[in-house]
Amino acid sequence: MVETNASTYAVGQADSRPWGDWRVIDCGPGFVVKRIRVAPGQHLSLQRHRHRAEQWVVVIGTARVTRNAEVFDLGPGQSAQIGLGDIHRVSNPGAAMMEFIEVQTGALLSEDDIERLEDMYGRVP
């Protein structure tokens, strides 16, 4: 049984990835807020989550969002809702660092809740 509002994140936690980096800027029962930076020409894996939904708000640059069958661009101040189970990815089609704020909500918030479906960095099992 999944514990309600369980999280493995802590404020200040950060990680570098092949595409850029992320840092937790706030968290509490049932939510985590991350600042995510994506380097030019890079993208996160095509993925989905079983336990969380996400809201993305672009703050710097242009984000190319894949959500299920849709692909669309967002600029600063624009946002996208990623529902529980949605297949999704974010890319940076620009020439400078792109940054967005991600708000995760759900019963279990963990990096272990990433099912990678496609990944240019060889991280698909």
Q: Where are the domains of the chain?
A: 17-118
What's the confidence (pLDDT) of residue 124?
Answer: 78
The one-character DSSP state at 119 is -
C-alpha pair distances (Å), 26 with each of 38, 53, 70, 123: 20, 16, 29, 27
Rounded-to-integer distance, Cα 66 and Cα 27, Å = 26
- The one-letter code for the residue type at 9 is Y
CATH architecture entry for 17-118: Sandwich (2.60)
Res 125 pLDDT > 50: yes
Q: Check pLDDT > 60 for residue 1.
A: no
pTM above 0.95, yes or no: no
User: In the structure, what pLDDT confidence band is assigned to residue 4 with cuts at 50, 70 and 90?
Assistant: low
Closest CA to 61 of 82, 89, 42: 42
What is the distance between the alpha carbons of residues 4 and 109, in angstroms, rounded to a whole number?
10
